[in-house]
Amino acid sequence: MIWDSWNDMIAMGGYAKYVWGSFAVVALVLAGEQAALALRRRAALKAARSVQAPGTRA
């Protein structure tokens, strides 16, 4: 598809709400996955520290 202007490119031939909406959903899902991953990592590190007895070496 060839666009004559930025507005034509953004309009996506009349399918803009579907195209840009899908980009937004993917961006939100990826951001949510990053946040969930950070929380799981933090919880795993906390659990690993609690299992290790104080004063012992790993």
Is residue 1 within 8 Å of residue 9, measured between CB atoms?
A: no
Position 3 scores a pLDDT of 72
Average pLDDT, integer, range 27-49: 96
pLDDT at residue number 14: 85
Compute the C-alpha angle 5/21/13, nearest 5°. Answer: 35
For 44, the token pair is 């795993």
Res 43: pLDDT: 95
Count the neighbouring beta carbons within 10 Å of the beta carbon of residue 12. 14
pTM of the model: 0.68
How many residues does the structure list for the chain? Answer: 58
Read off φ and ψ for residue 13, nearest 5 degrees: 65, 30
Higher pLDDT, 56 or 15: 15
